[in-house]
Amino acid sequence: MTLRLYDTVTRAPRDFVPLTPGHASVYLCGATVQGEPHIGHVRSGVAFDVLRRWLLAHDYDVAFVRNVTDIDDKILNKAAEAGRPWWEWAATFERSFDWAYQQLGVLPPSVEPRATGHVTQMVEMMQRLIDNGHAYASGGDVYFDVRSFPEYGRLSGHKLDDVHQGESVGAGKRDPRDFTLWKAAKPGEPSWPTPWGPGRPGWHLECSAMAVFYLGQAFDIHCGGLDLVFPHHENEIAQAKCAGDDFAQYWLHNGWVTKSGEKMSKSLGNVLSVPNVLKIVRPQELRYYLGSAHYRSMLEYSEEALQEAAAGFRRCESFVMRTVERAGDVQVGKWTEEFAAALDDDLNVPAALAEIHGRVREGNIALESGDADGARALAGQVRAMLGILGVDPLDQQWAAASDNTAAMGALDVLVQAELDRRQQARAEKNWAVADEVRDRLAAAGIEVTDTANGAAWALKQASNESGQ
């Protein structure tokens, strides 16, 4: 295995060489549980689940930590607006995120620590930073001295003179570029005791403390969304390095889900919640969609693109199901060299999917020609490759999530026959027959979309964006 990963620090792909042979340690910045998860929130979970599955497939012992931020200004404000206890608010939406990850077949982390459970580790890290001359207490707050760390800005490329932390200046800050490690207690807010007075943690401190506590002073990979590069991950590095920890060896960042060219976020009011999108497509189809673009690229949302991805998954699913029906049980086989080369190239899922669909086309030809053994072997390869991407149609995850997989496969066979008839009519310029097929499918609740790869179909369902 020669896995190359694009490292944000070096801005170039690097061979993955773990600190301990055969072991991979990974930290993923998880959810701030302030509200219902939207599809932009869970993209990182899907993207780095593929990384984890690829490492596991090569017999790595993977320690995968994904944290929960359960104390934060947004959580406190939204709970107060709703008249609910902050801890209840956080717990409610932590369960919502867990449900979303489970629906999308994201493997559970090795551990999922909460910020509120690791205040002791945060206090210890702040003490080290103060002792090392990199932090200072002022009026119950504790701040990090950005100028004390010459490497500050290496991850993000920010120049020190241009740094804006996105937080209030603070009466006790020596420099407006410094950032908050600990916030002094305010009336009505939760607090924990420290040597510098009661208060609560700053956002950046928690991840540095938890990553080191679970993965050690040096670990392999730190992951998260592109929006976290600055200030969150830049500040994580500064804290950890100045506290004496070597910290992460590789930094991986996934692109955003965008809508109308803008990052999907609650503040922009363009949110598509996971429950709402799952009224349009099945969980495995949503996962396929979220994972279909390269993890570092932006994924522009539209329902047309979502349905096109769902149709792409169903083509793979239909082939596997038809093979089981015609040729018997299909065991998971081995991925192809081309598939492996694609994933080894910085998790190039689009190239991996092109390889999968090539094998699906070969398999369909084998089925139609009566080559049961050939079709079964190809279906085994397809299952293996889709399994690495987390969407093997025969995986128990999807049997539990949807009881109509077989029915959908059978329906696809019938619809594809009609679409082939329509295509033939269009080729012969017999527009009456072509329109007749389209209208009959529409009357049956099946919507046809013509794409560059041929006609795609989807069951008509009401699009619900009330979570925006």
Residue 261: is its pLDDT beyond 60? Answer: yes
Give every CB contact of residue 365 below 8 A, 6+ residues apart in sequence.
none
Please indicate, yes or no, if residue 273 is contained in any of the structural domains.
Answer: no
Domain span including residue 137: 4-263
Considering the domain architecture, whether residues 223 and 347 belong to the same structural domain is answered as: no
Mean pLDDT over each residue of the chain, to the nearest integer: 92
Considering the domain architecture, whether residues 295 and 433 belong to the same structural domain is answered as: yes
Structure confidence at residue 262 (pLDDT): 84
End residue of a domain, out of 263, 296, 321 = 263
Strand extents, DSSP E, 34-171: 61-66, 135-138, 141-144
CA distance 403 to 459: 16
Considering the domain architecture, whether residues 173 and 285 belong to the same structural domain is answered as: no
Residue 401: is its pLDDT beyond 70? Answer: no
Please indicate, yes or no, if residue 81 is contained in any of the structural domains.
Answer: yes
The predicted model scores a pTM of 0.84
Residue 17: is its pLDDT beyond 60? Answer: yes
Instruction: Flag the least confident range among 1-5, 231-235, 298-302, 385-389.
Output: 1-5
Please indicate, yes or no, if residue 212 is contained in any of the structural domains.
Answer: yes
Structure confidence at residue 350 (pLDDT): 98
User: What mean pLDDT is predicted for residues 158-187?
Assistant: 89
Residue 434: is its pLDDT beyond 90? Answer: no
Residues 33 and 75 sit within 8 Å (Cβ to Cβ): yes
Residues 142 and 218 sit within 8 Å (Cβ to Cβ): no
CA distance 45 to 43: 5
Structure confidence at residue 267 (pLDDT): 66
Considering the domain architecture, whether residues 259 and 284 belong to the same structural domain is answered as: no
- Which is nearest to 78 in space by CA: 271, 264, 266? 266
- pLDDT more than 70, % of the chain: 93
Q: Is 412 helix (H, G, I), strand (E, B) or coil?
A: helix
User: Would you place residue 341 in the very low, low, confident or very high pLDDT band (cuts 50, 70, 90)?
Assistant: very high
Considering the domain architecture, whether residues 257 and 352 belong to the same structural domain is answered as: no
